[in-house]
Amino acid sequence: MNRTYITTSIPYVNAAPHVGFALELVQADAYARHFRLLGRDVRFQCGTDDNSLKNVRSAEAAGLPVADFVNANADRFERLGTRLDISNDEFVRTSRDPRHIACVHALWNACAENGDLYRKAYEGLYCVGCEQFYEPSDLVDGRCPEHGIPLELVREENWFFRLSRYGDRLLHLIESDELKIAPAHRRNEVLALLRRGLGDISVSRSAERARGWGVPVPESDEVVYVWFDALANYLTGLGYGTGEELFDRYWTVSSERIHVVGKGISKFHAIYWPAILLSAGLPPPSSLLVHGYVTVDGRKIGKSAGNGIDPNSVVDAYGTPDALRYYLLRHIRSGDDGDFSAERLEAVWTGELGGQLGNLANRVLALVSSAFGGVVPPLQESDFTQEAARLPAKVAEAFDAYELHVGLADIFAFVGDANRRFAKRAPWADAKALAGELTPAERRATVDRLGGCLAEQIYGLAVIARCLLPFLPRSAAVLHSRLGLEVSEAYGAPFVVDEVRAAPDAVLFPRRVAA
């Protein structure tokens, strides 16, 4: 499969974004950049879920028109992508994208034609925070298991989708890995839900309860329920229902279709969404990558919990998004919960990024500049260069396994090896010796020894720079520039470093100046 379509989920815009959603953005972006380096044709989409009931209620609480409230917060989410160097090709806002209503209606009509939509009177317990109904057995002390709040009793006659018709097919898709779910424990959770059996689900709500906000049901005075509406965004950006060729290019059985989502919404993406697609005669996603929650002091970050950390303030503090990107991608395991700490972030910035990689690059480049005028000596193959050449394959394996933290750990394990080898060979001693009195034979031997050490280190730094491109694109680009390299579009593209650029003040990861 040479074509890859990758998406983030679309967050509710009932408040400004926090660092928890930044995790999903940088994970998906790393995959998009990695796939491009593999030479794939990549389409990468982000967006916002504008039409949820919680957005409506938050706007009412703020005393603002819903459209104004939603647009202001959606702007914040879109700007966050820019600040984090997210390389998405599309950003879909479900209340503003002119293609979205056509997409939702096309999907609705396809399910209706297949006989999967019907009317039913319904009474159930509803959590506005989750935007879903719960069975009494799912509650914890009578409250929502996710938000810990009381539920609302809703009585309506709605349109329902025959989800129960698709249980066996979904079970086969996931057990056969036609729909891959990673990590494995999230796959097992979904399989357990399927084996318990599926009930049909409501896919509309009254316009009165929705305050008239949302996508109207075709030929009805109701509003499409938020999940049917929101999940359709993955097709909106490809032009489903409007005849755009992107849909035929990226949503086919010959393309890879990847959703990056949080564990709290994995059920909707692993069960509801593929069932709706099957009903409409469309292929389901090929992969779900399910991340955990970012916590602070062990508590889930939430807009309503009031403990959100503004990722913009972190970017401002460090002057680059790469400090936050590195922390989220290396120090939070890709498929698990992880804790955020400002103190640990600072230690990571100064110790791992600045102290290990930044210090190595600065020392190597300064010696090449002072001893060889910036011209890189000839490279000789060694066990070190062979180890460097194996690094891109290790990084690719980490992506394949949805273990981005392992990929970065492999890169920085190599950085550690490079630092130890550099210290053991002590090239600064040879550089100092060259400034003194040496016989011609001694000078040749010293030049060869120093040149060999620096050449292999430059090669190692070039491989590191290439492998860091998906994770830390800005810092990797700076390192490319200092090595005199163009930022490559492929892992395997050959590179020859002839002349480096080393300046005393060109520090890769400078220490922060206290405010």
State the Cα–Cα distance between residues 480 and 487, nearest whole angstrom.
6
165 and 221 both lie in a single domain: yes
Q: Specify which residues 204 forms β-bridges with.
A: 224
17 and 115 both lie in a single domain: yes
Among residues 132, 119, 44, 55, which one has the least CA distance to residue 89? 44
349 and 253 both lie in a single domain: no
Domain membership of residue 99 (yes or no) is yes
State the Cα–Cα distance between residues 128 and 58, nearest whole angstrom.
11
Interacting residues of 214 by C-beta distance below 8 A, sequence separation 6+: 51, 205, 223, 224, 226, 229
List, for residues 232-262, the tens digit of each pLDDT value.
999 999 999 998 889 999 999 899 999 999 9
How high is the pLDDT of residue 515?
A: 42
77 and 207 both lie in a single domain: yes
The number of distinct structural domains making up the chain is 2
Domain membership of residue 512 (yes or no) is no
Domain membership of residue 490 (yes or no) is no
Domain boundary, last residue among 313, 332, 359: 313
Tokens linked to 265: 């919404």
- The pLDDT confidence band at residue 226, using thresholds 50, 70 and 90, is confident
List, for residues 478-491, the tens digit of each pLDDT value.
999 888 888 876 77
80 and 191 both lie in a single domain: yes
383-403 b/e (C-beta count within 10 Å ≥ 16 → b):
ebbebbeebbebbbebbeebb
How high is the pLDDT of residue 105?
A: 97
CATH number of the structural domain spanning residue 432: 1.10.730.10
Kindly state the DSSP code that residue 406 receives in the 8-state scheme: H
List, for residues 259-286, the tens digit of each pLDDT value.
999 999 999 999 999 999 999 999 999 9
State the Cα–Cα distance between residues 43 and 16, nearest whole angstrom.
26
190 and 88 both lie in a single domain: yes
392 and 308 both lie in a single domain: no
Q: Which residues span the domain enclosing 31?
A: 3-313
299 and 349 both lie in a single domain: no
List, for residues 83-119, the tens digit of each pLDDT value.
999 999 999 999 999 999 999 999 999 999 999 999 9
State the Cα–Cα distance between residues 288 and 257, nearest whole angstrom.
9
51 and 115 both lie in a single domain: yes
How high is the pLDDT of residue 148?
A: 67
Phi-psi category of residue 243: left, alpha or beta, with phi > 0 → left and psi -120 to 50 → alpha = left
| Burial environment of residue 318 by CB neighbours within 10 A (0 to 12, 13 to 18, 19 or more) | middle
Domain membership of residue 494 (yes or no) is no
51 and 129 both lie in a single domain: yes
210 and 78 both lie in a single domain: yes
Contact at 8 Å (CB) between 494 and 486?
no
291 and 405 both lie in a single domain: no
Domain membership of residue 334 (yes or no) is no
State the Cα–Cα distance between residues 273 and 465, nearest whole angstrom.
38
